Structure 1
Amino acid sequence: MAKRTKSAVVQKSLWKKIGARWQLYLLLLIPLVYIVVFAYAPMGGLIIAFKDYHPKDGIFGSEWVGFKNFIKFLTSYKFPVIMKNTLTLSLYGLAVSFPIPIIFALFLNVMMGKKYKKIIQTVTYIPYFISSVVMVGLLFSLLNNRYGLYGSLYSLFTKNTAPNILAKGEMFKHIYVWSGVWQTTGYSAIIYIAALAGVDQELHEAAEIDGASRLQRMFFIDIPAILPTASIMLILAVGNIMNIGFEKVLLMQNNLNLNYSEIVSTYVYKVGLASGLSDFSFSTAISMFNSVINFILLLIANWGSKKLNGSGIF
């Protein structure tokens, strides 16, 4: 009886607190509804991955085929190519684009002139707001082998027409990854710059009195300070390793580099929407397979981070 009374008192107190701050909870309701409608409600549609879906029969009226669509993808002749391209672009991008913002933030933090620091940060931050369409248009203009900057400089120094690197499949991953580094480094460095701003300056002063150089202070004060933040960002990056930029890859694709640029997301789009067949069940199965792999990688990365430095996202 005493437990019930105590529980009722706690519940009454909780509702009283909610009633006192109902405006804040009303604001919270907006993103909550958004998440439910656009993140959780669509999950019911995943059932078509296990069905031979036809719009006229509906989701529940279509024939149940089990794992047929998954087996079809795993045994497809395109599966090795698609997985190879997806993992190549993802791992290459992760290996390059993850450490560079950290290095950039560390060196920007040691700059003495605040004016120059702000100018550099602004200049590197702006490219992030360039849309994928404009970005790819810039790449095509700059790397054109006849009238682009690349072609003009090549012809100026060699007196010959430059080779068309946009048509070379082997060059696709380099163009994609390094253009992404240029576009996202400034934006990605913001969180590390914020973490460095929170470092106690007394630690630097004490280390300086003890004779530590600026490089030593960077290694023994700055880097340990941003290590937990870097761990979280790495976990999130690994958890999205299969989800690389769909729009940019699709826009950069052509018939000559297709064997090097076809990834899971572009293949899903082509199978589900772009092709005349519109195999929704097959495309949903591929997307679900992709999400499951990402979830497993997220769990592994989180477990590894907790084992190494004791920090994780859950």
Structure 2
Amino acid sequence: MFPPKISQLSSPFSVFRPNPHRVSFLQPHFPSLPLPCASHGQKLSCELKPPLSSNFPSFTSISISLPSSNLLKVSEIGAPVCSGENEDKGISAELNDLSRNGVVYKKTLQLVECSMFAALTGLVYFLSNSLAIENYFSCFFSLPIVISSMRWGVDAGRKTLVATTMLLLVLSGPVKALTFLLKHGLVGFTMGTLWRSGASWNLSILVCTIVRSLGAVGFVLISSFLIRENILALITINIHASLTLLLTASGVNIIPSMGAIYSLFGILVLLNSGSFMFLLHLLYSVFLTRLGMKSSLRLPRWLERAI
């Protein structure tokens, strides 16, 4: 595209009409100007026009006609050849960003917090088992995993869970590590995942209750395998004997079947786990609210009013 031609200058406001084969420009009027000769078969034509009016200075419009063939061509713009170098520079600049909002700083802070939470949980669990005070601190064993999941996402909660389990495996052996994983680790990871996704309390308590119940049954089965004794059978036999004694004392001559005993055992485990998880939700909600993470929680209305 060449510059447009000014066809006429009749008023201060001129009309521009583009012409791809004509180039026009304004030049002050002189009696005669020699024009260069045509080269390479190009045709040059000059037209001298008189001034349009006496009110304006005299100008001469000189038009140059060029052949229709495109003498000058610009190649099409293609993809850059060194795109990989630009990407590498962008990645390196991103990795070299050590500010508080940089990727490296956030990942380093996440790794440090996860490792500190894992070390604290493993140390507290190890000392509580050694001093036989596990029942007094068992409600806090899942809290570091929940905090990691709420602050940095599900990936951070999984890292804290795995790091704590591996630390306990080294310090206390596989039995204590499996005990923590089944009774506390999976519960904290499930709770942190559901709270991170914005699930309601009803769904969170229900799912955590099921996970806690399965963990308790798994712990019983593992303990039975280790001591070479069927603890689950002993529990169900004791329940059967106690229920039969109660029915006989009340004057009802009915002997419950083993299916009813297993059902009763499952209901009792679910009730125990459900009440524990409700209290755990209540405790963790108050604790996280005091830490300034209330905006990330989805609390019921009655608890928000109380807090």
TM-score normalized by the length of structure 2 = 0.27
TM-score normalized by the length of structure 1 = 0.26
Higher percent of residues as helix: 1
Structure with larger Rg:
2
Higher percent of residues as strand: 2
